[in-house]
Amino acid sequence: MTFFTDSLPIYLNGAWYTLMITVGGCALAFVISMIFGILGTMRSLVARAIATVYVEIFRGVAALVLMFWLFYAMPLLIGYRLEPVVAAILALGLNVGAYGAENVRGAINAVPRAQYEATVALNFEPLQRMRLVILPQAWAQMLPTFGNLVIELMKGSAVVSLIAVSDLTFVAQQMRTFTGETLLAFLAALIMYFILAQIFLFLTRMAERRANRRLGRLPDRPAKKRAIPSMAGVARGGES
Amino acid sequence: MPQSEQNIQDTIRPDASPDVPGPGDAVQQPLIRFEKVVKQYGDNVVLRELDFTVQPGQRVTLIGPSGSGKTTILRLLMTLEQIDGGVIWVNGDPLSHMYKGDHLVPANEKYQRAVRKKIGMVFQQFNLFPNMTVRRNITEAPIHSLGVPRGEADERAAELLDMVGLKERIDEHPTRLSGGQQQRVAIARALAMRPEILLLDEVTSALDPELVAGVLDVLREIARTTDITMLAVTHEMGFARDVSHRVLMFDHGRILEDGPPDQIFGEPREERTKSFLHAVLESG
Amino acid sequence: MDWDFIVEAMPALLAGLRYTVLATVMGYALALVLGLVVAMVRKGAPPTVAKTVFWIMEFIRCTPLLVQLFFVFYVLPSAGIALTPLTAGVIALGVHYAAYTAEVYRSGLDGVPKGQWEAARALSLPGVRTWTSVILPQAIRRVIPALGNYLIAMFKDTPLLFAITVPELLFEANRLGGENFKYLETISAVGVLFIVVSVLSAIGIRFLERRYAAV
C-alpha cells in the first residue's frame, strides 16, 4: 500500500500527461471526423472520394506506426523535428479521426430521408439544412461511438511513452526500473487508466442523455447498453 | 392573408417570365403548368408526357389508384424528385430548368430555391423536426430562409398555432403530440412560409381514424379563409367534394378524367373512375 | 527517397512480417477460444461469477494493450514464469482481444431464439450436446463477420510488440532505419504495407458479411 501512496504524485503527473494528450487528440479527431464525415455524405463524387481515401489511409495505419513516421521519418523529409507530444497528438488524432469520420458519415446517413425532404420543402439552404436539422439529429446517434473512440484514443495514447513522453505508461516503466516493484508499478498505471476511462464513460452517458432529451425521447428510458468500445466495431458500423 | 399573398406576388420576377401560351380557355396565366412531363424509376414509367395546368387559387384534388403517379406530381413540384422529361412551369418560370441565354438547362440549387419559395408541402408522415420544439419547427424556416425577424416569426407562429388549435403546446417537443396534433403543427409550419401553393400528400393517411376530422377541419378553414392554391392527394372523398374546385382522376401516369367534383363523383364518364370510386367508398 | 534501399531492406522487412503474421494468427486463435469460454461462463455461470468475469473484461477493455503487454512481459517472469517476447505478446494480444470477442459471441448467443433452448430441453439433450450441436453453430455463424473485424484490428495492433522486442515488422523497420539512418524509407514502407492489408481485408470482410450476415 505504501507503494501506492508514496508514488501517487508521480502517477498523477503521468495521468495528467495522458489526459492532455487524450484531450488534444480528441479535439483533432473530432474536427477531422466532422470534416471527412460530412464530405462522405455529399453528392459530389470528388468529395466522397476524398473522404474515402482519407479514411482508408489513416484507418489502415496504426497510430504507433503513424507516430513513428511523424517523429522519425518526416524530419528527414521536411528537415524539422516535431515535439514528441505534437507528433503523438497528430498521430492519434489522424488515426482516430478516420474512425470518427465513418461514425459521422453513418450517423448522418441514418437520419431519415423524410427529414431532408422537409428541409427542402421549407427551402433551407444546404448549410442550414446540415446545421439546423441533420447534424442535431445525427448527434445523438454519433455519441455512443464517439464515447468509445475517446476510450480507444486514451488507450492508444500509451504509445507516446515509446518516444519518451512521460505519460502514465512511461511513469510505470520508470517506477519498475527504480523500485523493482514490477507488479505494483504496472498495476497502479492500469488502475489509473481504468479510472480515467470510467470518467470518460460517465461524461459520454451524460451527453447521450442530454442529446436524447433534446430529441424529445423519454429521459427515463433505460440507458441503452454500452456498445463495446472497439475500433473494429466502429469500422463495421460505419460501413453498414 | 391577402396582404401576404401580395408580398409573395411581389417577389416574382416579371422579367424572368417567358411567354407561355396558356390553355385555350384560360384568361390568366396558369400558376402551375406541366408540359409533357415524364418521370420514370428504371423501366417503370410513372408519368408519361403529362400535360395539365392549375389556375391561381384553384384547389385541385388528385385521386386514383396507388402507383398512378399522384404523389409523384407533388414530389416533382417540391423538387424532391428529378424530372426525366418535359418542363414544369410555376407562374411562368420553369421549375426544373433555368434559362441560359435562350436555352433551358437543368436548374441549379440556387435557382430552384428561388422558384420553390412559393411552394409549401405537408407530408403523410408529418416530418416534424424532433430536435426542435413546436415553436422552432414553425419559426426556423421563415427566420433562416426568408429572413423574417425572430419576433415577427414568433408572433406568426402563435397565430398559426391558434388557428390549428394548439396554442398551448408551443414549447413542447413534437414527439409529445398525437399524430393529429403533429400534422396540424406541420400544416402551421408550411403556412408560416406564406406559400402560394400548398401541396398536401395524403396528409390524413397515417392518422388514427378519430384524429382525421381535426386535421381536415383545419384544411377546410384554410380553404375558406385564404386563396392559396392547393394540390391534394387524398382518399378522403368527402373532403375532396367539399373543398376542391376540380378533381383529377389518374390512372397509369395519365389523367383519365378532369372535372368539377360534382361531375366526377356524381356522374363519372369513365368506367375506370366509377369502379375506383366504388372501391374507395366501399372500404371507407 | 532511396528506392534501392527499400529493395535491399525487403528481406529483413519480410522476416519481420513473418513475426507479425505469426503473432496475429496465434493471438487471434487464443482470443477466439478464450472469448468463447468467457461468453459461455457469462451466460451459464452463477451471477456472482458472471459479474466478476464481466468486470475483469471491462477492466481489460478500458486499459491500454501496451501496458498489458508490459505487464505480461515483466510481471510473469518475476513470478517465475519464463516467457519469450513472442509468447508474452501472443498472451497479451489473445487476452486483450478475448474481452472483445466475448462480447461478439454474447451478441450471437443472445440472437439464438429462446425456443431453441426449449426445444433442446424438450428433446432432453444433455447440456454439452445442447451447446455444441444446437446453440453454438447458430450463434457463431451470424457473428463471423464481426469476428473477422477483430482479426484486422489485431493485425493493426501488432506493431506494439515492438515495445517488448519482438522482431516484427516495425521493429525491423526501426532497426534498419536506425542503422542506416533511413527511417523515411523503412517506416514509409511499413505504413504502405499496413494500408494495403487494411484495404484488402476491408474487402474481405464485406464478402464475409454478404455471405454470412444475411442468414
Dihedral, CA of residue B208, residue B210, residue B212 and residue B218, to nearest 10: -140
Q: In the CATH scheme, what architecture does the domain B2-118+195-283 have?
A: 3-Layer(aba) Sandwich (3.40)
Cβ contact, residue pair C202, A65, below 8 Å: no
Q: What average pLDDT does this structure show over B16-24?
A: 40
8-state DSSP, A217: -
A positions 69-128 inside 8 Å of C (CB)? 69, 72-74, 76-77
Q: Three-state SS for A215?
A: coil
Cell 504495407, residue located: C193
Average predicted confidence (pLDDT) for chain B: 87
Contacts of A169 in chain C (CB under 8 A): 64, 66-67, 70
Q: What is the pLDDT of residue A237?
A: 36
Q: What is the pLDDT of residue A224?
A: 45
Q: What is the pLDDT of residue B26?
A: 45
The CATH code of the domain that includes A178 is: 1.10.3720.10
Q: What is the pLDDT of residue B27?
A: 54
Cell numbers of C201, please? 481485408
Cβ contact, residue pair B176, A216, below 8 Å: yes
Buried b (16+ CB within 10 A) or exposed e, A143-152: bbbbbbbbbb
Q: How many angstroms separate the CA of residue A99 from the nearest CA in chain C? A: 12
Q: What is the pLDDT of residue C213?
A: 59
Q: What average pLDDT does this structure show over B174-178?
A: 92
Q: What is the pLDDT of residue B220?
A: 94
Report pLDDT digits (tens) over C77-128: 888 888 999 999 999 999 999 999 999 999 998 888 888 888 888 888 888 8
The CATH code of the domain that includes C173 is: 1.10.3720.10
Q: What average pLDDT does this structure show over B142-147?
A: 92
Q: What is the pLDDT of residue B284?
A: 55
Q: What is the pLDDT of residue A1?
A: 67
Residue type present at position B226: T
Of C68, C159, C183, the CB nearest to A64: C159
The Cα B246–Cα B267 span in angstroms is 14
Of B117, B130, B131, the CB nearest to A123: B117
Q: How many separate domains does chain C show?
A: 1
Report pLDDT digits (tens) over B242-255: 999 999 999 988 99
Cβ contact, residue pair A122, B141, below 8 Å: yes
Q: What is the pLDDT of residue B170?
A: 93
Cβ contact, residue pair B125, A114, below 8 Å: yes
| Sign, CA torsion A126/A131/A137/A142 | positive
Report pLDDT digits (tens) over C9-19: 888 888 999 99
- Cβ of A179 under 8 Å from any chain B Cβ? no
Range of the domain at A17: 2-239
Q: What are residue B228's phi and psi, to 5 degrees? A: -65, 135
- pLDDT tens for chain A, 240 residues: list them: 677 788 899 999 999 999 999 999 999 999 999 999 999 999 899 999 999 999 999 998 989 999 999 999 998 888 888 999 999 999 999 999 999 999 999 999 999 999 999 999 999 999 999 999 999 999 999 999 999 999 999 999 999 999 989 999 999 999 999 988 899 999 999 999 999 999 999 999 999 999 988 887 765 444 444 455 445 444 333 333
Q: Nearest-CA neighbor of C59 among A157, A196, A3, A185? A: A196
Burial class (CB in 10 A: 0-12, 13-18, 19+), B250: buried
Judged against a pLDDT cut of 80, whether residue B18 lies above it is answered with no
Q: What is the pLDDT of residue B67?
A: 81
Q: What is the pLDDT of residue C149?
A: 87
Report pLDDT digits (tens) over C34-88: 999 999 998 888 999 999 999 999 999 999 999 999 999 999 988 888 899 999 9
Residue of A nearest to B120 (CA): A121
The Cα C138–Cα B283 span in angstroms is 45
Name which residue leads in pLDDT, B188 or C201: B188
Strands of B197-201's sheet in order across? B119-122, B197-201, B229-233, B59-63, B246-251, B254-259
HEC per residue, C181-208: CCHHHHHHHHHHHHHHHHHHHHHHHHHH
Range of the domain at C180: 3-213
Q: How many separate domains does chain A show?
A: 1
Judged against a pLDDT cut of 50, whether residue C132 lies above it is answered with yes
Q: What is the pLDDT of residue A167?
A: 94
Q: Identify whether the C-beta of residue B59 lies closer than 8 Å to the C-beta of residue B244.
A: yes
Residue type present at position B121: M
Q: What is the pLDDT of residue C202?
A: 83
Q: What is the pLDDT of residue B141?
A: 94
Cβ contact, residue pair A115, B80, below 8 Å: no
Q: What is the pLDDT of residue C20?
A: 92
Q: What is the pLDDT of residue C30?
A: 97
Supply the Cα-derived Rg of chain C in whole angstroms.
21
Quote helix, strand, coil % in chain A, to nearest 5: 80, 0, 20
